[in-house]
A and B are shown apart, each in its own frame.
Chain A
Amino acid sequence: MTGAAHEEPTSFLRKYVFSLDHKVIAKQYLFTAISMALVGGLLAYVMRMQLASPGQEVPGYGMVSPAGYNTLMTMHGTIMIFWVAMPLLLAALGNFLIPLMIGAGDMAFPRLNRLSYWTFLLSTVVLISSFFVPGGAAAGGWTTYPPLSGSAALSGGAWGVTLWILAVALEFAAFLMGGINFITTAVNMRAPGMKLFDMPLMVWMQVAASVIFLFSVGPLIAGAVMLLLDRTAGTGFYNPATGGDPILFQHLFWFFGHPEVYVILLPGFGVIAEILPVFSRKPIFGYRMIVYSTIITGILSFMVWAHHQFVAGIDPRLATPFSITTILISVPIAVTTFAFIATLWRGSIEFKTPMLFALGMLGVFLLGGVTGIHNGTPAVDIYVHDTYFVVAHFHYALIPPVFFSFLAAIYFWYPKMFGRMMNEVMGKLHFWLTITFVNVTFLPMFPLGLMGHQRRISNPNFFEALRTPEVERLHDIATIGAIGLLLSQIPFLINFVWSLFRGREAGPNPWRATTLEWATTSPPGHGNFEVAPRVYRGPYEYSVPGRDEDWLPQNVSG
Chain B
Amino acid sequence: MASSGQQESLSYERTGIPTGRLGMYWFLAGETTVFGGLIFVYLLYRWRNPEWSEHAAHLIDLAGAFNTLILVSTSVAMARAHAAVQRDRLDLAVRNMGFTLVGATVFLCVKAYEYSHEFAQGFVPSTNLFWSFYYTMTGLHAAHLLGGMVAIAIILIGVRSGRNAHRVEYVGLYWHFVDTVWLCLFPLLYLAS
Interface on A for B, CB 8 Å cutoff? 2-5, 103-106, 108-109, 112, 176, 179-181, 183-184, 187-192, 214-223, 225-226, 229, 233-237, 242-244, 248, 252, 255, 527-529, 532, 534
Q: Is B30 within 8 A of A180, CB to CB?
A: yes
Q: Which residues of chain B (1-53) have a CB below 8 Å from chain A?
A: 1-2, 6-15, 17, 19, 22-23, 26-27, 29-38, 40-41, 44-45, 49
Query: Which residue from B13, B30, B140 sits with its C-beta under 8 Å from A176?
Result: B30
Residues of A within 8 A of B40 (CB): 219
Query: Distance (Å) between the CB of A110 and the closest chain B CB?
Result: 10
Check A190–B12 contact: CB distance below 8 A.
yes
- What is the chain A residue whose CB lies nearest that of B22? A184
Contact B34 A218 (CB under 8 A): yes
Decide if B147 is an interface residue (CB 8 Å cutoff).
no
Closest to A187 in B: B15
Identify B29's interface contact among A214, A233, A255, CB under 8 A: A214
Task: Tell me how far the C-beta of B35 lies from the nearest C-beta in chain A, rounded to whole angstroms.
Answer: 7
8 contacts between A and B (CB under 8 A): A184-B23, A220-B37, A221-B37, A225-B140, A229-B132, A229-B136, A233-B125, A532-B1
Taking each of B15, B35, B132, which has the highest tally of chain A beta carbons within 10 Å of its own beta carbon? Answer: B132
Chain B contributes a number of interface residues (CB within 8 A of A) equal to 42
Partner of A218, one of B8, B32, B125: B32
Contact A3-B29, Cβ < 8 Å, known A190-B14, A222-B35, A235-B125: no
> What's the nearest-Cβ distance from chain A to residue B73, in Å?
28
**CB-defined contacts of A179 to chain B, threshold 8 Å:** 26, 30
A188-B126 in contact (CB<8A): no
Show the binding face of B for A, using Cβ within 8 Å.
1-2, 6-15, 17, 19, 22-23, 26-27, 29-38, 40-41, 44-45, 49, 124-126, 128-129, 132, 135-136, 140
Identify which of B35, B37, B49 contacts A223 (C-beta below 8 A): B37
New contact pairs (13) apart from A190-B14, A222-B38, A233-B126, CB-CB < 8 Å: A188-B19, A214-B33, A215-B30, A220-B37, A222-B37, A223-B41, A235-B129, A243-B128, A248-B41, A528-B10, A529-B10, A532-B1, A532-B7
Smallest CB separation, B102 vs chain A (Å): 29
Rank and list the top 4 A-B pairs by shortest CB-CB distance, nearest first.
Answer: A218-B33, A219-B37, A105-B10, A234-B126
- Known: A103-B10, A189-B11, A236-B129. Is A215-B140 also a contact (CB below 8 A)? no
Could you say which residues of chain B place their CB within 8 Å of the CB of A534? 1
Contacts of B124 in A (CB 8 A): 234
Closest-CB distance, B127 to chain A (whole angstroms):
9
Residues of chain A lying within 8 A (CB to CB) of residue B22: 108, 184, 187-188
CB pair B26 A180 closer than 8 Å:
yes
Contacts of B15 in A (CB 8 A): 187-188
Decide if B14 touches A189 in the complex (CB within 8 Å): yes
Q: What chain B residues lie within 8 Å of A5 (beta carbons)?
A: 9, 11
**Roughly how many angstroms separate A233 CA and B17 CA in the complex, as a whole number?**
43
**When the two chains form their complex, are residues A221 and B34 in contact, meaning their CB atoms are under 8 A apart?**
yes
Contact A189 B12 (CB under 8 A): yes
Given known A-B contacts A218-B31, A219-B37, A180 and B23 have beta carbons under 8 A apart: yes
What residue in chain B is nearest A195 (Cβ atoms)?
B14
Q: Which residues of B contact A216 (CB under 8 A)?
A: 33
Q: How far is the CB of B31 from chain A (nearest CB, A)?
A: 7
Min CB gap B135→A, angstroms:
8
Residue of A nearest to B4 (CB): A532
**Residues of chain A contacted by B34 (CB below 8 angstroms):** 218-219, 221-222
Contact B12 A184 (CB under 8 A): no
Closest to A105 in B: B10
CB distance from B179 to the nearest CB of A (A): 19
Of B7, B17, B33, most buried by chain A (CB within 10 Å of CB) is B33
B41/A235 in contact, CB under 8 A: no
Q: A255 CA to B31 CA in the complex, in Å?
A: 16
Does A108 lie within 8 Å of B128, measured CB to CB? Answer: no
Q: Is the CB of A218 within 8 A of B30?
A: yes
- Chain B residues within an 8 Å CB radius of A106: 10-11
Q: Using CB atoms, name the residue of chain B closest to A112.
A: B23
B23–chain A nearest beta-carbon distance, Å: 5
A2 and B37 form a contact (CB under 8 A): no
Query: B1: shortest Cβ distance to chain A, in Å?
Result: 7
A243 touches B32 (CB 8 A): no
| Chain B residues, Cβ within 8 Å of A219 | 33-34, 36-38, 40-41
Across-interface contacts of B135 in A (CB, < 8 A): 233
- When distances are taken between beta carbons in the complex, the residues of chain B under 8 Å from A187 are 14-15, 22
Note all chain A residues with C-beta closer than 8 A to B19: 108-109, 184, 188-189
Assess the A215–B33 pair: CB atoms within 8 A. yes
